[in-house]
Every structure is written in structure tokens, then in C-alpha cells.
Amino acid sequence: MIVHRKHLDLWMSLAETCGTANAKELWRHLAHQPDKKPQLGTVTPMKGKQYQGKDGWSRVYHYEISGAGRVDYQFHREYVASKGDPHKVVRIVSIDLGSH
């Protein structure tokens, strides 16, 4: 999981804002099956050219964790860092903990 430092404070406050059960389900979903429908919450692929994936990254997906939280993310099935082996990676694109 890659969370940019500009999103870190919001990421760390997900459980407090959206509830522990919702935050755990988001983590479970992103860690194990970011390309599938979650057990809780709603995932929608973002529409528009700016949300298309490239260089092996998926398109941007919008996970609605609760009425008070949304997390947009992308995943890569075989990401290779500068000196590493291929592995699955999820990166957080944006977090919005305001109401709709």
C-alpha cells in the first residue's frame, strides 16, 4: 500500500471518522482484492480520460467507505521497484472525509 505523505493524516484518521469496521474492511479490500466488489462499501471505476491507467496501473477506482468518506485508488498487479521483484501494489490517489 502506498499512501503519499499529503494523505497520511487523513489515512490515519479513517477509523475515527468512518468507524473501525469500515476502515478494516477498506484495508482488507485494498490489500487482498482491489479489483473485485467489496463486502462493505461501494467501488466505482472513475469515468473520464484523466482516470485511465497507464504503465501497468489500473484506472482510478472510487471506494465509498461511508457517507463521510471516499478513497480513490489504483492498483498494479506486478509493480517492480528500482531493485525489487514484481508484487501487487495499491496506491491511494485521494482521500475525502467530507460529506457528499
Q: What is the pLDDT of residues 29-52, one digit of tens each?
A: 999 999 888 887 789 999 999 999
What distance in Å separates the CA atoms of residue 28 and residue 32, rounded to the nearest whole number?
6
Model's pTM, two decimal places? Answer: 0.86
**Which pLDDT score, from 0 to 100, does residue 46 have?**
93
**Which pLDDT score, from 0 to 100, does residue 99 have?**
57
